[in-house]
Amino acid sequence: MIVHPERSVERDAAIEAMLPNVPFDGWTFRAMRRGLASIGVPEDDAELLFPGGISDVIDAFCDLADRRMEAAAPPPADRPLPERVRAVVALRLEQNRGNKEAIRRVIAILSFPRNARLAARCTARTVDAIWHAAGDTSADFTWYTKRALLTVVYSAALLFWLRDTTDDDAATLAFLDRRLAGVGRTHRMRQRVESMLGRFRPA
């Protein structure tokens, strides 16, 4: 769905106003209408802003989180790419500590088979935003493999984070470090295998 820039700003404000109500009312238009009323916007605007229903609201929430993450991420420093990815994921978790219950409910909704397409779209967009914020410039086949690997790692870290009770996400970041280390070993092994196979290619 293409959203006009002005309407995008209005939708972002509506999502922000709605979030405090989600732990009580869930991802519903009741929560949205209460949020709009709190910022002086007519409650009837809920359906106008999100004509696609609650799936549209969730999609907009995920997109807002992605854009905020990218906007707040520092310029990619001269560090190994896994470290940059780790820093971006850590930033995203920090930005959303106050929205854990809302995110928990989002994941529950997206777990339904009927929402598989929406779940895939949101996850793919988030993973791509993480790589972009980390300064990844790959354009070959590794573009796909990197995103496939990070999808697994990020999804696991997100579920771990929802159960993390540490104030600074320390347990989740330690979990993330272990997963990223595993990805690094897999990548190095793949490089060695490709190098070995290259020796047997016809001249």
User: What pLDDT, on the 0 to 100 scale, is given for residue 184?
Assistant: 53
Output the CA torsion sign for 65, 159, 98, 58. Answer: positive
- Does 193 reside within a domain? yes
Residue range of the domain that includes 99: 78-198
- Does 109 reside within a domain? yes
- Does 17 reside within a domain? no
Total residues found in the chain within this entry: 203
Q: 183-187 long-range CB contacts below 8 Å, 24 or more apart?
A: 183/82, 183/149, 183/150, 183/153, 184/82, 186/149, 187/149
- Does 152 reside within a domain? yes
- Does 180 reside within a domain? yes
- Does 85 reside within a domain? yes
Q: Please give the Cα distance from 134 to 157 (Å, whole number).
A: 17
- Does 53 reside within a domain? no
- Does 36 reside within a domain? no
Query: What tokens does 14 get?
Result: 């509506």
**One pLDDT digit (tens) per residue for the chain, 203 residues:** 556 556 789 999 999 999 999 999 999 999 999 999 999 999 999 999 999 999 999 999 999 999 999 999 988 878 888 899 999 999 999 999 999 999 999 999 999 999 999 999 999 999 999 999 999 888 777 888 888 999 999 999 999 999 999 989 999 999 999 998 876 554 444 444 344 334 444 44
Output the CA torsion sign for 134, 137, 142, 147. Answer: positive
Q: Please give the Cα distance from 172 to 57 (Å, whole number).
A: 27
Number of domains in the chain: 1
